Amino acid sequence: MLHGPKRTQILAQHLRRTMSLPEALLWRELRRRPAGHKFRRQHPAGRFVLDFYCAKARLAIEVDGEIHARGNQPERDATRDAWLRAQGVGICRIPAREVLEDMDAVIRHIIEAARGPYPSTASGGPPPPPGED
């Protein structure tokens, strides 16, 4: 199980109360335990806070908004991903716009990722809906 220091735990509590719209919408779906997978929201992991985490699958789900492409955020994300991979955790990055546009595809993508093994980097978001391959 991944844990974080007290400072990270306090930050995680704050982030649970201030989730973005895409995070809140995704949480509404993930708390239903899709395909039997239990997720935690804003889970402390070392000095990081994961948007969502499935302990059984050792999978982190990150909802990436526009901020993830700005400034030093791409480098910070790479550092975080490398640390998670070193802990044996897979990372599934989902663009926030995908959550807003096609929740069903996002959930299918997450379920597939939780079944593992999952590559350590995202392939550009969830797969297309059935019949649109």
CB 42 within 8 A of CB 62: no
pLDDT tens, residue by residue, 40-83: 998 888 888 899 999 999 999 999 877 656 667 788 889 989 99
Residue 61 parent element (H or E): strand 59-64
Q: Which of 53-57, 77-81, 121-125, 128-132 has the highest mean pLDDT?
A: 53-57
Burial of 129 (0-12, 13-18, 19+ CB in 10 A): exposed
CB 9 within 8 A of CB 44: yes
pLDDT tens, residue by residue, 100-115: 999 999 999 999 999 9
C-alpha neighbours within 13 Å on the C-beta side of residue 90? 19
Q: What is the pTM of this model?
A: 0.76
Question: Where do the domains of the chain lie, and which CATH numbers do they carry?
Answer: 6-115 (3.40.960.10)
- What pLDDT does 49 receive? 86
